[in-house]
């Protein structure tokens, strides 16, 4: 295997970060930092999804996904870099009035005509959870746990390449046993802290599961793209069968339906109960062009991928499933944007439009953080065998038949 | 060969033998034939030249029917048959019709899948001529059979027997209809 060129990804990443930083001069810290959160949210979702898929692979002692798992093990190498890129968001929370991104960090932040955060009963009741020290410790703790669990999985899997000892598979089984609840809880609380608390009056018990569904959809789409890329390079010739693609495609279909189920349930319960504390969140997302973004999520994020992924031929034809994967990544980006960017308000309290410079900074953040994440993956890729050749289930994986 | 003959049956000792025999019979262009095995053999469908099942298309029709049934049922009942305003909501909205439509989509898809599978497989089938073969029970235990029907356009008593012999089949016998 010829090592891929890593410098291009690094260059694109640094360029994206530089353009986003230049945005500070144009749109100011509040807008650009919130847009940066979109980029963090998007790529952290993919890394968490990859971590979850490795853990799920081990908890089920699965066989078909052994080859795919190795690529995810390289993918989670991005976590330390994501932590590094998350640090600026913590830094701005200590600067100035502290409410550059999250309004509840500034007690003097004006909530409405009468109240500030300090005198807001809805903040007081949540202040044991929503306070700056807790936020910083928790955010660093989430990354620490993700890095710790992924390094355990990586170490065991890569060591097995050397000695073929089955104890590494058993160790990963145990890691999966305690790792799944840990990752499930940390991704839920991360979603609550980072995205939901942007509008801290609002609450939804679906929110963590919503983020989980985006994690899985992003990671599966990246898994498809990585496998097709390695196949096109010739590395996975004779290894990647249509049955593997069919299996991944089915999971993509599953999580398309799962995303729709979660998103619909969240909307439906709030719509049905019709309580102002909850409905305002959707009301601002139906304001002006956000209405069309909402509709795009219904039809583009669910209906279109759902119908396309029903087809067996579409799931196994490289050219078609590659396009579907790119499309799903795009809609996951729109979904995360939809959850974060309406927190940017104009002076009258309405959300700033979707099509604006804010979207551009979100896109450059995704490119910047993506370049670094892909660079982290690419530089990790040649350090191990292409497939886990001594995994006890590698034979079953190579002979996988639907 | 008597009129009452169903076809020729050959015995194989291993799944591998059956698999390669199936490839030979497939390549010889036979259409009406089958393999009998105590357990599923991976890849045998490809060795037999069988394409993908058509059941999913029937499932899709069932799903669409179920969704439309749920939506139109609630639309008719809430808007015309028994209109009541609840919680200030409109008389009909696809939102509250959705959970029911979704459940009916699943229900009708399941019905269509099971029904489609039965119809395409010709089930229920209480009688099959291969049951006349005296050793057929070994096919649920430790032996593998390949049956070629007489109604196959390429069937020819001598040539078909020669093909099965070439494929490694043992005890090639005719079975009664």
The answer to whether position A401 is within a domain reads no
Does residue A234 lie within any of the structural domains? yes
From A401, which residue of chain B is nearest by alpha-carbon distance?
B42
Residue A2 has pLDDT above 80, yes or no: no
Q: Are residues B65 and B106 in the same domain?
A: yes
Say which CATH number the domain at B40 has: 3.30.70
Mutation pick from B55, B102, B105 vs chain A, by most beta carbons of A within 10 Å, is B102
Residue A224 lies in a domain: yes
Instruction: Give the contacts of B116 (CB within 8 A, at least 6 positions apart).
Output: B54, B55, B58, B59, B62
Do B138 and B116 belong together in one domain? no
- Partner-chain contact B52 A312, CB within 8 Å: yes
ipTM reported for the complex surpasses 0.85: no
Tell whether A376 is covered by a domain.
Answer: yes
| B63 and B48 part of one domain | no
pLDDT at B169 exceeding the cut of 90: no
CB A198 within 8 A of CB A25: no
Residues B113 and B62 in one domain: yes
Q: Among the three residues B79, B103, B121, which one is the final residue of a domain in this structure?
A: B121
- In angstroms, the CA A33 to CA A89 distance is 7
Q: Kindly tell me if the per-residue pLDDT of B177 is higher than 90.
A: no
CA atoms within 13 A of residue A303's CA, in its CB half-sphere:
7
Mean pLDDT, residues A76-101: 92
Give yes or no: residues B105 and B138 share one domain.
Answer: no
B126 touches chain A (CB under 8 A): no
Give me the domain span that covers residue A376: 9-385
Q: Is the Cβ pair B43, A274 closer than 8 Å?
A: no
Tell me which residue of A157, A12, A144, A173 sits closest to A80, measured CA to CA.
Answer: A144
Domain boundary among B121, B139, B160: B121
Based on the fold, state whether residues B43 and B69 are members of the same structural domain. no
Q: Does B56 touch chain A (CB under 8 A)?
A: yes
Residue A21: pLDDT band (50, 70, 90) is very high
Residues B61 and B104 in one domain: yes
Domain boundary among B77, B94, B121: B121
Instruction: Name which of A272, A312, A399 is nearest B96 (Cβ-Cβ).
Output: A272
Residue A149 covered by a domain: yes
Q: Domain count of chain B?
A: 2
Residues B107 and B131 in one domain: no
Each residue's pLDDT tens digit, A143-158 = 999 999 999 999 999 9
CA dist A196 and A210 (Å) reads 11
Q: Which residues contact A191 (CB under 8 A, 6 or more apart)?
A: A207, A208, A210, A211
**Most B CBs within 10 Å, among A241, A253, A401, to test the B interface:** A401
Average pLDDT over residues A57-78: 94
Asked if the Cβ–Cβ distance from A272 to B87 is below 8 Å, we say yes
Q: Are A123 and A131 in contact (CB under 8 A)?
A: no
Q: Are residues B48 and B131 in the same domain?
A: yes
Range of the domain at B155: 5-52+127-176
- For an interface test with A, which of B44, B98, B101, B112 has the most A Cβ atoms less than 10 Å from its Cβ? B98
**Domains of chain A: total:** 1
Angle at A333 between CA A203 and CA A292, to 5 degrees: 75
Residues B47 and B59 in one domain: no
- For residue B98, list chain A residues with Cβ-Cβ distance below 8 A: 264, 268
B33 and B89 assigned to the same domain: no
Euclidean distance between CA atoms B95 and A334, whole angstroms? 22
Whether the per-residue pLDDT at A305 is higher than 90: the answer is: yes
């Amino acid at each position: 295997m010829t090592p891929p060129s890593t410098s291009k990804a690094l260059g694109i990443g640094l360029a994206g970060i530089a353009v986003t930083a230049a945005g500070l001069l144009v749109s100011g810290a509040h807008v650009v930092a919130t847009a940066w959160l979109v980029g963090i949210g998007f790529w952290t979702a993919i890394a968490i999804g990859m971590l979850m898929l490795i853990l799920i692979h081990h908890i089920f002692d699965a066989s078909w996904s052994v080859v795919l798992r190795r690529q995810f093990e390289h993918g989670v190498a991005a976590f330390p870099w994501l932590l590094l890129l998350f640090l600026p968001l913590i830094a701005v929370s200590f600067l100035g009035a502290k409410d550059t991104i999250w309004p509840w960090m500034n007690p003097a932040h004006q909530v409405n005509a009468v109240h500030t955060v300090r005198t807001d009963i809805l903040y007081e009741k949540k202040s044991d959870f929503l306070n700056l020290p807790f936020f910083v410790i928790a955010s660093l703790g989430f990354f620490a746990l993700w890095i710790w669990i992924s390094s355990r999985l990586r170490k065991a899997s890569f060591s097995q390449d050397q000695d073929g000892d089955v104890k590494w598979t058993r160790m990963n089984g145990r890691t999966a046993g305690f790792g799944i609840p840990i990752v499930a809880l940390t991704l839920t609380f991360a979603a609550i802290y980072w995205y939901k608390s942007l509008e801290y009056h609002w609450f939804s018990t679906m929110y963590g599961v919503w983020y989980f569904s985006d994690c899985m959809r992003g990671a599966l789409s990246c898994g498809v793209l990585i496998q097709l890329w390695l196949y096109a390079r010739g590395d996975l010739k004779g290894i990647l069968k249509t049955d593997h693609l069919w299996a991944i495609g089915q999971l993509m279909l599953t999580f398309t339906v799962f995303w729709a189920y979660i998103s619909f349930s969240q909307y439906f319960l709030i719509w049905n109960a019709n309580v102002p504390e909850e409905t305002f969140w959707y009301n601002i997302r139906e304001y002006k062009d956000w209405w069309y973004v909402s509709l795009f999520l219904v039809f583009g994020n669910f209906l279109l991928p759902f119908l396309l992924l029903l087809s067996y031929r579409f799931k196994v034809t490289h050219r078609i499933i590659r396009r579907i994967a790119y499309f799903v990544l795009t809609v996951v980006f729109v979904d995360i944007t939809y959850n974060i960017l309406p927190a940017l308000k104009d002076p009258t309290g309405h959300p700033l439009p979707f099509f604006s410079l804010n979207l551009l900074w979100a896109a450059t953040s995704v490119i910047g953080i993506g370049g670094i994440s892909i660079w982290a993956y690419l530089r990790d890729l040649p350090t191990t065998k292409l497939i886990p050749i001594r995994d006890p289930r590698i034979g079953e994986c190579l002979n996988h038949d639907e | 060969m008597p009129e009452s003959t169903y076809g020729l049956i050959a015995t194989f000792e291993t799944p591998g033998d059956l698999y390669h025999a199936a490839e030979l019979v497939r390549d010889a262009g036979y259409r009406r034939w089958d393999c009998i095995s105590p357990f599923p053999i991976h890849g045998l469908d490809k060795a037999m030249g069988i394409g993908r099942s058509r059941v999913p298309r029937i499932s899709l029709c069932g799903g669409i029917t179920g969704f439309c049934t749920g939506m139109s049922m609630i639309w008719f009942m809430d808007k015309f048959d028994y209109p009541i305003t609840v919680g200030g909501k409109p008389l009909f909205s696809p939102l509250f019709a959705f959970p029911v439509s979704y459940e009916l989509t699943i229900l009708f898809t399941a019905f269509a899948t099971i029904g489609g599978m039965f119809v395409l497989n010709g089930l229920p089938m209480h009688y099959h001529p291969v049951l006349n073969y005296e050793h057929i029970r070994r096919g649920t235990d430790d032996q593998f059979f390949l049956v070629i029907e007489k109604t196959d356009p390429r069937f020819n008593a001598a040539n078909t027997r020669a093909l099965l012999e070439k494929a490694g089949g043992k005890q090639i016998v005719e079975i009664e209809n």
